[in-house]
Structure 1
Amino acid sequence: MFRAGLFSPLDAQNCLSLTLEHGYLVPEQLSYQHLSDLSYGCDPGLKSSAGSWWGVIKCENGKWSQTPLCIDLRDCFAPEVSHAEPVQPVQTSYPSNSSVTFACDKGYEFETDWQEAVCVDGEWTLPVCSPFACDAPVHVAHAVIKQPYRSAFDLHEKVEYECKKGYELIGQKISYCMVKVWTREPQCGKNRALTFSHRDRNFLLLEPRPSPAEPAQPVRYCTGYPMIENGDVVEQEDGVTLEVQCAYLYKRLGPLKVTCVNGQWSELPVCKGYLYISYYIIFALLFIRVLFILALSFHHYCTIVSCMSICVLVVLYI
């Protein structure tokens, strides 16, 4: 009987007896009372779900805590992996050398190099799922974080910094949790001021500072990687910056790193070929040709040697 939400043991149901293949029940009865224990044993060469030759189950209001089972010593019962779920429906037991593929829960990744649980001679070799989470952000002098303190933050979560009075933010005020690391945190620098007196009046001059830059976002916030002619971009481990690499015989002109700000890519560099003939070199060659022609035409004024010396000086000057 249920009264005021309480369960009465007097109304509990008994459990019916079970049939166990390759094993036996002790005591063997037609039914068992609520909360009573039932022991079972397995035949030689077999094991119970407890991993030994016997096991114990409990009757709980008409249902057994688990189904007794006896399997070969080299077989395995269904595997369990913390923070992961099997990709395919699981079986009650698996023969040796069987495998079960798992997928980590949201916010977790495989810490091991494998994703399958493998049964080897009655024991599972299990994968391990660890959280993407970041530890609490590092301490920044003269600053606070607007969000409440937590010992861990999930992937792509963000925190916002704010400096105390008399200090100003240097860098990006928002930091993102990437794969177990935070993007670069800002610093709080002291306002530099100059006070002087003029006609009994005090003036306070503050050094002008640029306004804080918009915080960079993870690259996934921008649509597709930017296209750079004769070059390519490589996403960095922080997940926030792209590094530009120019093709062979091309030189980068512009910033090395590109970030995503408000859904748009920051300034892009260009990759320019550096094996080209300068206009200055062409002019110098033409000038040398003219000097040689003059030397041949007016040899009584200028010898070949002296003209060549002049040419060398001209080239060095250019």
Structure 2
Amino acid sequence: MCVKYLGCVLLACFPGLLHAQSATRLCSAPGLNGGYWVPEQDTYNHKAKLTYSCDNGRKPAVEGWWAKSTCEDGTWSPKPQCIDENACLPPSIPNAIYTVSTNGWYENKTRIRITCDKGYQDKQQDATAQCINGNWTSMPVCEKSVLACGAPPQIPHAVIILQGYQDVFAVDTELQYECEDGYSVDGSVTKTSIYCISGNWTKGPVCSKWDTGLAGSADVETGGRQTTSAGSETQPQGGASRAGTEHDRDSAGSGTSPAVEDSRPATGHDRGSAGSGTRPAGGGASTASSGTERDGRSQYTTVDHCGVRPQVAHGEVVREGRSFLRFQCNSFYTQVGDATVKCHNDGRWSQLPICKAAFCVMDPARFSFLTGLQSEATYLKEGEGKYFSCTSYYEYSYVRCIKGEIYWTPCCTSDYHTHGWCR
């Protein structure tokens, strides 16, 4: 009597218990064509299990001659099925995708075609499999592409910006690093990228402690910093060709399109001083902070006090305030240093930003195997990549500008590019 009374109290106080019990549905006996199961019942409770097998000439739609299924809220999972013994179950092909059958199995003589994941390629260029008498023939294998890269390098005082873990990175993958707080590249850039080229990562950034020399100055403004750097760092070993072996990068001109004096590709390391800045008449850019600045006291005044406006090669003033000038680099150039310039009380301008070249030059004479190039030099921005048609029909080359160097693939068909076979 007490037990019954307690049950009534629980149901009255917690009606959700009654709802939870009635929410799950029972399963009816499976409609198994060509098979049998145990235990044999008309209905089964939620989470109940049964075991089934199939008659001669048929087999379960799972591995093994005996299979199990569980009642999940009125539905059997997996669904008990007896299929023809010559049919095939779904194949297991690591690092690949293929068309999935809607009924969970494949009829005899069915042929499937697989596609390898990014960073992998078909071994021996075999991308198909066929079901023959219950077995798959010529099972494809997806192996790591020779052009793919492994784990990216660890860089001191920097973290990698990556969505999820992965072992293999496809060719041309871009990964971005961000320097820790208080560290930067070239005193301004906090984010930079590396690229997977021919199985190797390009050189990563060096994140160094940044000391502006203006500690405590309340008037210093920041702004306009960009994160792309076109340096002359050593390129990785690998199979991708590089435009030119001589270090003869030309001096870059100003304006929205870079100008060069000759059309050789800008791939070397003896460039002109692109964006080095011109010291203005009546006061140059300050290179060291005064003692009073280090003490944290503001030493800035209105820009008129410094007279002639300073000039930044390949850059221009995009905003002018009473107490500051703000510069912006032209197209094809990237900014290094603070974009905001102020006037010191002693008539000197604060440190000017530098506009560094961030482009590659393609000489049509050197790339004569490509069609569609202009008669004059063709420019690619830093990090930009394009497909160019080759002189041979239906073939293409992928060309990309990375840290001032031009990399390209041999001429291949679009299918070879897709599967990473173009080497």
What TM-score comes out, normalization by structure 2 length? 0.38
Higher RCO by CA contacts (8 Å cutoff, separation 6 or greater): 2
Higher strand share: 1
Give me the TM-score of the superposition, normalised by structure 1.
0.48
